[in-house]
Amino acid sequence: MPRDPEIKEAAVVLECRGIVKRFGGVTAVDGISLEIRAGRVTAILGPSGSGKSTLLRCLNFLEVPDAGKVLFEGVEVHARDRALDGLRSRVGMVFQQFNLFPHMRVWENVALGPRVIRKVPREEARLLSLGLLERVGLSDKADAHPLELSGGQQQRAAIARALAMEPAALLFDEPTSALDPELTGEVLAVMRALAAEGMTMAVVTHEVAFARAVAHEVVLMDAGRVVERGPPSQVIDAPSNERAARFFSKPGA
Ligand SMILES: Nc1ncnc2c1ncn2[C@@H]1O[C@H](COP(=O)(O)OP(=O)(O)O)[C@@H](O)[C@H]1O
Ligand SMILES: [Mg+2]
């Protein structure tokens, strides 16, 4: 995939400035500023407990930050206002545990957002859903229930569900961490195809090889802070920072 080395030129879709989030005595996110740029993949890496999920959740207000700002398409978002509805409906999230509704068919899971939020009629939403399931390689599973699917298939259905809202950006929180290694590849392949089509994505992941191959920018977090950021060729392969060098020298990295 061609990657523009000038990562700073694309428009900023989603941005946070000086985000702080505390849980009791723990400062999970300690003053992070980040820009998610149009058509770019931002990979967020770091050890367990470094605040990656909390940062992602602050970006779409699943957690309300204690300090700092979130801007979506240049407009500051506050809890309980209309800008938040726009952010919620147009920034999709894909979770480690898929979070599909088990009692609904796969196509119904995908069609739910458009039907409820965008008031798309049932048949139109069904056709939209079938098209998206084809895109993630699940045409034959449209009428199945989620628990009849493998983890990799469930995660691909969850990606189709996020795409159904025609998102301005997609946020992924360790989308392959709950999967057996042989199922990880099929999910990463779908994500790689989305990236190649120009989808704006922020991806929390432990898949260093994926970040190296697909991300335009890598952000390394530790203890609630960004310790290094830049293109993968720099952050992963030639880190200037001692903490980053240690993280990427681990076996498997
Ligand atoms: N809801 C919560 N309540 C209390 N502590 C939390 C909560 N969510 C996260 N934390 C704490 O915040 C820190 C960062 O967690 P998290 O964002 O989940 O890190 P990561 O995703 O990098 O593993 C950890 O110390 C974690 O225990
Ligand atoms: Mg996490």
DSSP string over the chain: ----S-TTSSPEEEEEEEEEEEETTEEEEEEEEEEEETT-EEEEE--TTSSHHHHHHHHTTSS--SEEEEEETTEEE-TTSHHHHHHHHHEEEE-TT----TTS-HHHHHHHHHHHHS---HHHHHHHHHHHHHHTT-GGGTTS-GGGS-HHHHHHHHHHHHHTT--SEEEEESTTTTS-HHHHHHHHHHHHHHHHTT--EEEE-S-HHHHHHH-SEEEEEETTEEEEEE-HHHHTTS--SHHHHHHHTSTT-
| pLDDT band at residue 10 under the 50/70/90 scheme | confident
How many angstroms does the Cα of residue 49 sit away from the middle of ligand 1? 6
Question: From the CB of 21, is ligand 1 less than 6 Å away?
Answer: no
Predicted local distance difference test score (pLDDT) of residue 1:
47
pLDDT score, position 32: 98
Domains along the sequence of the chain with CATH: 12-103+158-248 (3.40.50.300)
Task: Compute the distance from residue 223 Cα to the ligand 1 centre, in Å.
Answer: 10
Give the pLDDT confidence of 11-67 residue by residue, as tens digits: 999 999 999 999 999 999 999 999 999 999 999 999 999 999 999 999 999 999 999
Per residue in 181-199, pLDDT (tens digit) is: 889 999 999 999 999 999 9
Q: Indicate the pLDDT class of residue 9, thresholds 50, 70 and 90.
A: confident
> Model confidence at 6, in pLDDT bands (50, 70, 90)?
low
Question: Is the CB of 86 inside a 6 Å radius of any atom of ligand 1?
Answer: no
Average pLDDT, the chain: 93
pTM over 0.85: yes
Residue nearest to atom 8 of ligand 1 (CA): 54
User: Does the Cβ of 239 fall within 6 Å of ligand 1?
Assistant: no
